[in-house]
């Protein structure tokens, strides 16, 4: 397992690379060019700049999260071919600096949805929170304003240029069904997967977050059955998964450890995150420790160990602790603790395996 940490860049993150480098076992940063609008071709000089920054600290940039998919591709509009061409050119450029995995998603409009960025927990820490009833009774634009007002950072998936056209986007999606979305996803994959293969890059789709419809929008990467269907759309080793235990775990019916064992050879990137779910559909993100949430993180790490996982992993979202002022979900402290919890489980499994043999 190759451990990484997500990093939002020197100009957009309060966490310096030298601090990430100090976390034991972290080999690389998961990065993106967050200011480049979805659909635009990434400039080579900007890509090279990130590599130079990481190289100075001995960190790799093997994983990109995300090269965002333009909404016209998801909608299947005639303009999608130009945006797919831009995507292909970006893949080719990323290969030149050694990128091995591209994480992306196919969620309409919103990449992720929460109703509270800093919900206070019993211990005084705060975390990202999803309140089911609140979402049912809130206007999407009102939620956008709430997110914008409560974060000093540009939030991936909630970029201003995308949200400026929110009403128009909802109108365009009004008659788009899940089957339409499947068809448009297959069209996209058939264009980009051959290019990814030629350039030694693996594509890993991120599950929908949360894994069910929000605001009536179609969502399809939500459960084991749909993951299996996705992998068959283009049955190629380069067409794979970013398996996120937090996104999928928001639905208690999803058995993430079983998915690890089932799709092991197609998991290119592991997001390991814990959430505590409630019977009314609410959920809150917790520490990575199994006992603190509803997702069996121990069993998930055990599954990765059993299948001999050698891909990339990162501690996904964490709480905001010790007074740290940080991007919602992405404080250094709790994610650093998460890394050590994951390594603790992994190392104990390694030791146990040696003693048994």
Count of structural domains within the chain = 1
DSSP result, 94-136: HHHTT--EEEE---SS-S---SEEEEE-TTS-EEEEE-HHHHH
Catalytic residue among 34, 70, 206, 288: 206
Rounded distance between C-alpha atoms, residue 355 and residue 350, angstroms: 9
Rounded distance between C-alpha atoms, residue 129 and residue 275, angstroms: 9
Catalytic residue among 312, 330, 334, 341: 330
Residue 316 among the catalytic residues = yes
Q: One digit per residue, pLDDT tens: the chain, 357 residues?
A: 999 999 998 777 788 999 999 999 999 999 999 889 999 999 999 999 999 999 999 999 999 998 999 999 999 999 999 999 999 999 999 999 999 999 999 999 988 889 999 999 999 999 999 999 988 888 777 777 666 665 666 656 666 666 667 788 888 999 999 999 999 999 999 999 999 999 999 999 999 999 999 889 999 999 999 999 999 999 999 999 999 999 999 999 999 999 999 999 999 999 999 999 999 999 999 999 999 999 999 999 999 999 999 999 999 999 999 999 888 999 999 999 999 999 999 999 999 877 765
Catalytic residue among 34, 288, 305, 317: 317
Please, how many CA atoms are within 13 Å of residue 180, restricted to the half-sphere of its CB?
16
Catalytic residue among 62, 72, 316, 334: 316
State the CATH number of the domain containing residue 268. 3.20.20.150
Which residues does residue 104 pair with via DSSP β-bridges, in sequence order? 205
Query: Alpha-carbon torsion 142, 9, 66, 35, what sign?
Result: positive
Domain containing 254: what range?
2-356
DSSP result, 15-65: S-HHHHHTSTTEEEEEE--TTSPTTSPPPHHHHHHHHHHHHTTT-EEEEEE
Residue 57 among the catalytic residues = no
Residue 172: CB atoms within 10 A of its CB come to 17
**Omega of the bond prior to 66 within 30 degrees of 0, cis?**
yes
Catalytic residue among 13, 34, 87, 244: 244
SS3 197: helix
Catalytic residue among 271, 288, 305, 320: 271
Please, how many CA atoms are within 13 Å of residue 228, restricted to the half-sphere of its CB?
7
Residue 330 among the catalytic residues = yes
Rounded distance between C-alpha atoms, residue 11 and residue 3, angstroms: 23
């Amino acid at each position: 397992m190759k451990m990484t940490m997500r990093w939002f860049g020197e100009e957009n993150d309060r966490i310096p690379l030298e601090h990430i480098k100090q976390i034991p076992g972290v080999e690389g940063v998961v990065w993106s060019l967050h200011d480049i609008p979805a659909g635009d071709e990434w400039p080579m000089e900007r890509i090279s700049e990130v590599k130079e920054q990481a190289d100075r600290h001995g960190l790799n940039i093997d994983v990109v999260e995300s090269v965002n998919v333009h909404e016209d591709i998801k909608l299947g509009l005639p303009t999608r071919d130009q945006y797919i061409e831009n995507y292909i050119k970006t893949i080719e450029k990323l290969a030149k600096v050694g990128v091995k995995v591209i994480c992306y998603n196919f969620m309409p409009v919103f990449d992720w949805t929460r109703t509270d960025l800093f919900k206070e927990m019993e211990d005084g820490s705060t975390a990202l929170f999803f309140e089911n009833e609140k979402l049912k009774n809130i206007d999407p634009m009102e939620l956008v304003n709430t997110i914008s007002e409560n974060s000093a950072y540009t939030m991936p998936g909630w970029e201003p240029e995308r949200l400026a056209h929110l009403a128009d986007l909802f109108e365009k999606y009004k008659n788009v069904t899940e089957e339409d979305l499947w068809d448009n996803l297959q069209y996209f994959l058939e264009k980009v997967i051959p290019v990814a293969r030629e350039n030694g890059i693996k594509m890993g789709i991120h599950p929908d977050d949360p894994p069910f419809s929000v605001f009536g929008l179609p969502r399809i990467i939500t459960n084991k059955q749909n993951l299996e269907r996705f992998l068959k759309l283009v049955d190629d080793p380069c067409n794979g998964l970013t398996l996120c235990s937090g996104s999928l775990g928001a639905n208690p019916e999803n058995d993430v450890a079983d998915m690890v064992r089932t799709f092991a050879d197609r998991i290119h990137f592991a997001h390991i995150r814990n959430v505590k779910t409630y019977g009314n559909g609410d959920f809150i993100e917790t520490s990575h420790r199994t006992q603190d949430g509803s997702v069996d993180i121990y069993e998930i790490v055990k599954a990765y160990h059993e299948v001999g996982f050698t891909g990339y992993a990162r501690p996904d979202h964490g709480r905001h602790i010790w007074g740290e002022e940080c991007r919602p979900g992405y404080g250094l402290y709790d994610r650093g603790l998460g890394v050590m919890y994951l390594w603790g489980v992994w190392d104990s499994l390694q030791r146990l395996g040696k003693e048994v043999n």
